[in-house]
């Protein structure tokens, strides 16, 4: 959980999200999402799913996830790290957008 919070905090700082909003989000009780949960909710996963289902007739999100995992593993990339980074960016942007100007 500490790694997850650290990644979200890092991106929140880079995106100039207000500290109070980031703290409320980061320290709310929650569990780290699974890779499948991250894939479904981050930009990388959403974009990959959209592209995959557009080019593979009848494909479902779980098919896109399986293809994504296989592609990253074949390239010796960490699926969890890629998804965590994208999720951190997605959440930081979401936190920043939820704060009234």
How many other CB atoms are there within 10 angstroms of residue 89's CB atom?
Answer: 20
Please report the pLDDT score of residue 90 as a whole number.
84
- The pair phi, psi for residue 78, each rounded to 5°, is -85, 115
Whole-number Å distance between alpha carbons of 49 and 39:
9
> Which residues, 6+ apart, have CB-to-CB distance to 81 below 8 Å?
none
Q: What is the pTM of this model?
A: 0.65
Stretches where the chain sits below pLDDT 50 are none
Q: Tens of pLDDT along 41-59?
A: 999 999 999 999 999 999 9
Average pLDDT, the chain: 84
CA-CA-CA-CA dihedral for 74, 77, 83, 88, to nearest 10: -160
**What are 66's two structure tokens?**
């399986």
């Amino acid at each position: 959980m500490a790694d997850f919070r650290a990644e979200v905090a890092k991106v929140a700082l880079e995106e100039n999200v207000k500290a109070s909003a980031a703290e409320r989000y980061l320290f709310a009780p929650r569990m780290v999402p699974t890779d499948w949960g991250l894939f479904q909710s981050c930009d990388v996963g959403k974009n990959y799913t959209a592209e995959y289902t557009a080019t593979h007739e009848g494909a479902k999100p779980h098919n896109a996830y399986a293809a994504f995992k296989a592609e990253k593993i074949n390239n010796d990339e960490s699926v969890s790290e890629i998804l965590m980074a994208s999720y951190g960016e997605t959440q930081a942007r979401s936190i920043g957008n939820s704060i009234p100007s």
